[in-house]
Amino acid sequence: MARVCQVSGKRTRVGNNVSHANNKTKRKFIPNLRKKRFYVPSTGEWITLKVATSVIRTINKNGLEATLRKAKEKGTLSL
């Protein structure tokens, strides 16, 4: 499975390690992903999503259905 958040679309990014002598070597910035089960009250089902921890906080704040609706409008939702 790819390291991509199913809701926000966050994925691995590439950057540089920069030493004190300003030498640059490539590195990866990996998103903090977790597999998490969420309850959907409208359907009465549980769904499992691979999401970033920042998205878990957003779901706690705004609710699951509102967050999924906004992600679908934005075009980042991949279920």
In 10 A of CB 9, how many CB atoms? 16
How deeply is 43 buried, as exposed, middle or buried, from its count of CB atoms within 10 A (0-12, 13-18, 19+)?
Answer: exposed
pLDDT at 1 over 70: no
pLDDT at 43 over 80: yes
Which superfamily, per CATH, for 13-74?
Ribosomal protein L28/L24 (2.30.170.40)
- Average pLDDT of the segment spanning 15-20: 98
How far, CA to CA in Å, does 63 sit from each of 9, 39, 41, 70? 18, 10, 11, 11
Can you read off the two tokens belonging to residue 10? 């966050």
* pTM score of the predicted model: 0.86
